[in-house]
């Protein structure tokens, strides 16, 4: 299919557009704008018009569109956006997982040589070709599950050479697959064990040596930092983020996973998002509810670690912008199936279908600072996913067992 031509796709038994659906706060299912037997007119990868399928065909005759008629019942919605993943890595942490299930904590495992540093070692030892293939396979799996925009972090290199290698691989995969990869530099994941100096010196090394190279090579516009007792303390992170912000980077924060402080810092500095939030209390929840910083909750990490979900229900009730992402990583979130994770968390946190679908579409787009996707509206990128059901409520009811029948990226079926 050529993007230079005009297409009509449909009919969709139901089409969830999210047109005018609130960016923040709680939603009920009646808040969902649902069109029946709808079609979408697309040109140059963008949505031109949405209307009844037959009506759209008649009104668009002068444009001589190519009609791609869908057989059978499907429910369409914007392409899924996974706003937090770590899929560029080598090796496995199945030993960590087995140990956690016997009662050993995540932090204990890290202190005993497992955890993030174990993956850093395996990622450094992997060849560039192996990392490329692994990242591509994982990204394509996400695409098959309806994800059309996928954030991917570095953070398993933790040196100038290896962080740049990861970002180069992420960018190369992005050029060669159908979906969009959004690279994020997470060199501030932990201080590497082979770095001579403390946290302060390591973060200075990143701002003076690594980040200028990232800018020069245009491999990422975003940075992230893990704010935690065994990673970087709040004041250490504050200086790093402030310097990176001056350099023009957008930023997000791994915050409130095991202890609080990261969310407060993120809101104070104007982070696009704070991700995790499993231990956020009332103070943090109320603060996030009043801010424009997106609260990105990661059910995959809770499932992988066997801990409580982030307080998504309370965050929504407080008025927060809540996105839901998979946190696909080799340690705490190895599943990587966002729909499955979101459905399971939704049952536990009592989230409406509207809140879950908003969290993996336009609210997730806000977490990445992207205003051109996540809703089905005129002039938006025509990223669309269609599930083989008659009623949108079937999708989450089956908790990830129903996979997309069609996925379109910029109007092109993938």
Summarised one tens digit per residue, pLDDT across range 67-124 is: 999 999 999 999 999 999 999 999 999 999 999 999 998 888 888 888 999 999 999 9
Q: Do domains 6-78+375-413 and 81-367 have the same CATH topology?
A: no
Residues lower than pLDDT 50 in the chain: 1-3
Give the whole-angstrom CA distance, residue 344 versus residue 346: 5
pTM: 0.97
pLDDT for residue 3? 44
- With both helix axes pointing from N to C terminus, report the angle between 160-176 and 128-144 in degrees, rounded to the nearest 10: 40
Give the whole-angstrom CA distance, residue 318 versus residue 70: 41
3-state secondary structure of 147: strand
Closest among 99, 27, 15 to 53, alpha carbons compared: 15
Whether domain 6-78+375-413 has CATH 3.40.50.300: the reply is no
pLDDT for residue 338? 98
pLDDT for residue 4? 59
Please, are residues 15 and 76 in contact by the beta-carbon 8 Å criterion?
yes
pLDDT for residue 259? 96
Give the whole-angstrom CA distance, residue 48 versus residue 60: 11
pLDDT for residue 1? 36
Calculate the average pLDDT of the chain.
96
What is the fold of 81-367?
Answer: TIM Barrel (3.20.20)
Please, are residues 363 and 22 in contact by the beta-carbon 8 Å criterion?
no
Give the whole-angstrom CA distance, residue 330 versus residue 311: 24
Which sequence spans correspond to the domains of the chain?
Answer: 6-78+375-413, 81-367
């Amino acid at each position: 299919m050529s993007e230079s031509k005009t297409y009509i796709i449909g009919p969709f038994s139901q089409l969830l557009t999210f047109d005018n659906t609130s960016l923040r706060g709680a939603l009920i299912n009646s808040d969902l704008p649902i069109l029946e037997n709808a079609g979408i007119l697309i040109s140059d990868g963008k949505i031109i018009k949405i209307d009844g399928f037959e009506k759209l065909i008649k009104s668009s005759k002068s444009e001589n569109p190519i009609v791609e008629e869908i057989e059978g019942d499907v429910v369409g919605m914007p392409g899924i956006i996974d706003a937090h993943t770590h899929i560029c890595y080598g090796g496995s942490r199945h030993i960590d997982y087995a140990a956690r299930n016997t009662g050993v904590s995540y932090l204990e495992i890290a202190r005993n040589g497992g955890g993030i540093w174990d993956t850093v070692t395996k990622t450094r030892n992997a060849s560039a070709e192996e990392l490329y293939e692994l990242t591509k396979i994982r990204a394509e799996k996400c695409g098959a599950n309806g994800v059309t925009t996928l954030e991917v972090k570095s953070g398993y290199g933790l040196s100038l050479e290896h962080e740049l290698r990861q970002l180069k691989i992420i960018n190369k995969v992005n050029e060669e697959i159908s979906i969009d990869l959004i690279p994020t530099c997470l060199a501030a994941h932990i201080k590497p064990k082979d770095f001579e100096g403390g946290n302060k010196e390591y973060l200075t090394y990143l701002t003076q040596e690594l980040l200028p190279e990232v800018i020069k090579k245009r491999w990422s516009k975003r940075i992230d930092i893990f704010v935690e007792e065994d990673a970087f303390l709040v004041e250490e992170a504050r200086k790093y983020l402030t310097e990176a912000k001056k350099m023009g980077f957008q930023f997000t924060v791994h915050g409130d996973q095991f202890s609080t402080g990261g969310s407060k810092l993120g809101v104070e500095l104007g982070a696009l998002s704070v991700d995790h939030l499993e231990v956020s209390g009332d103070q943090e929840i109320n603060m996030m509810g009043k801010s424009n910083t997106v609260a990105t909750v990661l059910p995959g990490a809770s499932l992988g670690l066997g801990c409580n979900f982030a307080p998504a229900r309370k965050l929504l009730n407080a008025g927060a912008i809540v996105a839901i992402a998979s946190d696909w990583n080799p340690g705490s979130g190895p599943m990587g199936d966002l729909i499955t994770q979101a459905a399971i968390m939704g049952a536990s946190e009592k989230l409406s279908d509207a809140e879950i679908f908003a969290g993996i579409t336009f609210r997730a787009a806000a977490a990445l600072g992207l205003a051109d996707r996540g809703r089905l509206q005129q002039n938006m990128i025509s990223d669309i996913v269609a599930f083989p059901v008659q009623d949108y409520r079937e999708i989450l009811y089956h908790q990830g067992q129903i996979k997309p029948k069609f996925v379109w990226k910029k109007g092109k079926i993938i």
